[in-house]
């Protein structure tokens, strides 16, 4: 059961930077894939193509059986199905923690406030922030803000979660609490694509590790094969 199928994807930026070169990948439902590779190799660009934050130059992408560029595909539905967490948390500063989590389901999906509020409370408890629901983002640590960002993405009930270096902007002592939430999601069966330098996470949680180099996605393998080869 394939969740994401990328076929010969190319991305050429307007400045002619060829950031993705014939990238093909299949990610199965429930799979956790970690992408590693040097800075500038195209990891972030690849993630952003998976929810059309970047439009591809050629190739095809299917998410949960929907062709991203088909005229019949509603791109907003597709995007709602693909949650994304960035290096910078990008929370709305003038909304409370709970308000941040409620915003998109209410405004984008048009769901009832009471229902959305209950769901937000449940999600915030799940990421360990049950006691911070009514404070503002500036009152939280970086690790707590990133956990809010994860809860906010989950509030759209996505089938896929993308993580672009989710712990890179955090003080070292806060990395663990964010990785723990991601581990919990993985064991819950979420399909995840994670760009990270956290090799411990890759080794422990990934079903597969893929390498990017100079815009190419190289053949991947299980973490056992990658990390434990003599």
* 43 interacts with ligand ADP by CB under 6 A: yes
Q: Pick from 27, 44, 149, 181: which binds ligand ADP (CB under 6 A)?
A: 44
CB 34 within 8 A of CB 209: yes
* 19 interacts with ligand ADP by CB under 6 A: yes
DSSP string, 24-65: EEEEETT-EEEEE--TTSSHHHHHHHTTTSS--SEEEEEETT
CB of 48 to ligand ADP, least distance (A): 8
CB of 24 to ligand ADP, least distance (A): 17
* 40 interacts with ligand ADP by CB under 6 A: yes
Q: Which of 33, 41, 34, 35 is nearest to 17 (CA)?
A: 41
CA distances from 165 to 16, 91, 169 (A): 25, 16, 8
CB of 55 to ligand ADP, least distance (A): 11
Q: Which is nearer to ligand ADP, 41 or 51 (CB)?
A: 41
Q: In 10 A of CB 65, how many CB atoms?
A: 9
* 138 interacts with ligand ADP by CB under 6 A: no
Please report, as ranges, the residues that interact with ligand ADP according to CB under 6 A: 13, 15, 17, 19, 37, 39-45, 164
């Amino acid at each position: 059961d394939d969740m994401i199928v990328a076929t010969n994807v190319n991305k050429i930026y307007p400045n002619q930077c060829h950031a993705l070169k014939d990238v093909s990948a299949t990610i199965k439902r429930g799979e956790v894939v970690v992408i590693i590779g040097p800075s500038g190799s195209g990891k972030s660009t690849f993630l952003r193509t998976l929810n059309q934050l970047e439009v591809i130059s050629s190739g095809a992408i299917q998410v949960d059986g929907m062709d991203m560029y088909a005229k019949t595909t509603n791109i907003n539905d597709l995007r709602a199905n693909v949650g994304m967490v960035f290096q910078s948390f990008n929370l709305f500063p003038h909304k409370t923690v709970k308000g941040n989590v409620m915003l998109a389901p209410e405004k984008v999906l048009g769901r009832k406030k009471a229902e959305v509020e209950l769901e937000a409370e449940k999600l915030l408890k799940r990421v360990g922030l049950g006691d911070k629901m009514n404070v503002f983002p500036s009152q939280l640590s970086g690790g707590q803000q990133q956990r809010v960002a994860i809860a906010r993405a989950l509030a759209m009930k996505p089938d896929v979660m993308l993580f672009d270096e989710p712990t890179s902007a955090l003080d070292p002592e806060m990395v663990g609490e964010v990785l723990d939430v991601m581990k919990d999601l993985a064991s819950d069966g979420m399909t995840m694509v994670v760009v990270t330098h956290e090799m411990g996470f890759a080794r422990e949680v990934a079903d597969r590790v893929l390498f990017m180099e100079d815009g190419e996605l190289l053949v991947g393998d299980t973490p056992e094969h990658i990390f434990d080869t003599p």
